[in-house]
């Protein structure tokens, strides 16, 4: 989950509401906001939301409201790309000229480029984009500059190597700030190693690192190199462990696909060519390649007149032998099948006997009721003739 630190002189619920309102204007939605003594820690859904916070309009709105977003180092690494094997013609131009040409020729760079740095004594360019999306597109598409193309395989996103640093005593790879044994009033400058002030008020021109007392921290560089080697070795070990399995799986999958898709076609064409060769001896190779060509199969050179009759007879004998072997290997299945047939026959006979028995025994029929006549019960019918 992406996160960014936003400084504010008075971080409280009221300023938190102001921050959320500013985010909503630019369709930025935070998943969580954590209050610290001097800032807000904003957690977002993706890196794109962090990019939106540092866009020009949103950044200006936040500054007007008293908020100061600080770009995290891991996000800056995701925005940075290294261009290897850069042509000498491109390197002959100044950094500002290279920046303008890349922005002009690559129209998909919407947010622009922060800066470009040429690493001395090498053919490497370091480009700081203003969005992570631009860095991703650079690794996918490559770059255009000075009528030349920089291929995508020469563009790599900078690797971020985190180093645990205590922000109170500035110890490296030992503990975090909340576990520091120094009191909160401990004062030390990370720029000149003085214990009279902090880096905010440092005016010394002589820079010394606390851990090594040198102008440039060799200890930090050494830790980065060791971690980079560890990451490289771990990735190599993993790839080596999975390389054989991956290759074998790929080859097996390809073989299975070939057998399913083409085996039936190839076998049918071979048999058909043998039949044609029996009718017209010497035509086997030509007929087979013609059939392969019609079905988009690769051509093959074979003898023109193989013994087709013998081959077909051998295949027939092989089929008969395989059937006999199957029958010989399954002797125990016949009695079971015979028992099942006998049981079915017995059930059928029982059902027939029951049907015949029901047909022989007829149920008693009901006696018919006698007809009732009117004269027997004293009824008379009187009719009257009418005119009309």
Tokens of 150: 């920089």
Tokens of 112: 């622009």
pLDDT of residue 116: 93
pLDDT of residue 367: 64
pLDDT in tens, 36-58: 888 888 888 888 888 888 888 88
* Regions of the chain with pLDDT less than 70: 1, 209-217, 234-262, 296, 315-384, 386-388
Distance (Å, whole) CA 270 – CA 343: 48
C-alpha pair distances (Å), 67 with each of 16, 44, 96, 99, 245: 10, 17, 31, 30, 53
What are the structural domains, with CATH classification, of the chain?
A: 2-71 (3.30.70.330), 75-157 (3.30.70.330), 277-329 (no CATH)
pLDDT of residue 378: 65
Mean predicted lDDT score pLDDT of the chain: 77
pLDDT of residue 346: 58
pLDDT of residue 99: 92
């Amino acid at each position: 989950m992406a996160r960014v630190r936003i400084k504010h002189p008075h971080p409280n619920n009221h300023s938190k509401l102001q921050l959320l309102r500013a985010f909503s204007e630019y369709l930025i939605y935070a998943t969580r906001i954590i209050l610290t003594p001097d800032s807000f820690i904003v957690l977002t859904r993706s890196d794109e939301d962090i990019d939106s916070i540092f866009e020009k309009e949103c950044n200006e709105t936040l500054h007007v409201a008293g908020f100061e977003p600080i770009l995290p180092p891991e996000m800056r690494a995701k925005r940075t790309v290294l261009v290897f094997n850069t042509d000498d013609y491109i390197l002959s131009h100044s950094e500002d000229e290279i920046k303008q040409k890349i922005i002009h020729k690559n129209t998909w760079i919407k947010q622009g480029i922060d800066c470009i740095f040429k690493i001395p004594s090498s053919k490497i360019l370091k480009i700081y984009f203003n969005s992570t999306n631009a860095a991703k597109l650079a690794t996918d598409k490559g770059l255009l500059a000075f009528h030349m193309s920089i291929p995508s395989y020469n563009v790599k996103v900078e690797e971020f190597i985190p180093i645990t640093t205590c922000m109170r005593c500035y110890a490296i790879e030992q503990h975090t700030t909340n576990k520091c044994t120094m009191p909160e009033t401990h004062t030390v400058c990370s720029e000149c190693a003085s214990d009279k002030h902090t880096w905010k008020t440092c005016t010394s021109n002589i820079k010394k690192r606390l851990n090594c007392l040198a102008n440039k921290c060799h200890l930090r560089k050494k830790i980065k190199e060791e971690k980079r080697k560890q990451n490289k070795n771990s990735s190599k070990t993993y790839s080596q462990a999975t390389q054989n399995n991956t290759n074998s799986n790929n080859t097996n999958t390809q073989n299975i696909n070939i057998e399913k898709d083409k085996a039936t076609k190839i076998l049918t064409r071979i048999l058909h060519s043998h039949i044609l060769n029996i009718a017209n001896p010497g035509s086997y190779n030509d007929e087979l390649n013609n059939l392969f060509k019609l079905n988009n199969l690769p051509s093959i050179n074979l003898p023109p007149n193989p013994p087709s009759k013998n081959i077909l007879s051998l295949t027939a004998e092989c089929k008969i032998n395989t059937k006999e072997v199957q029958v010989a290997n399954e002797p125990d299945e016949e009695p079971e099948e015979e028992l099942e047939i006998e049981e079915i026959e017995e059930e059928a006979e029982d059902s027939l006997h029951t049907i015949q028995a029901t047909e022989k025994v007829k149920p008693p029929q009901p006696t018919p009721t006698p007809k009732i006549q009117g004269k027997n019960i004293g009824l008379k019918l009187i009719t009257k003739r009418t005119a009309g």
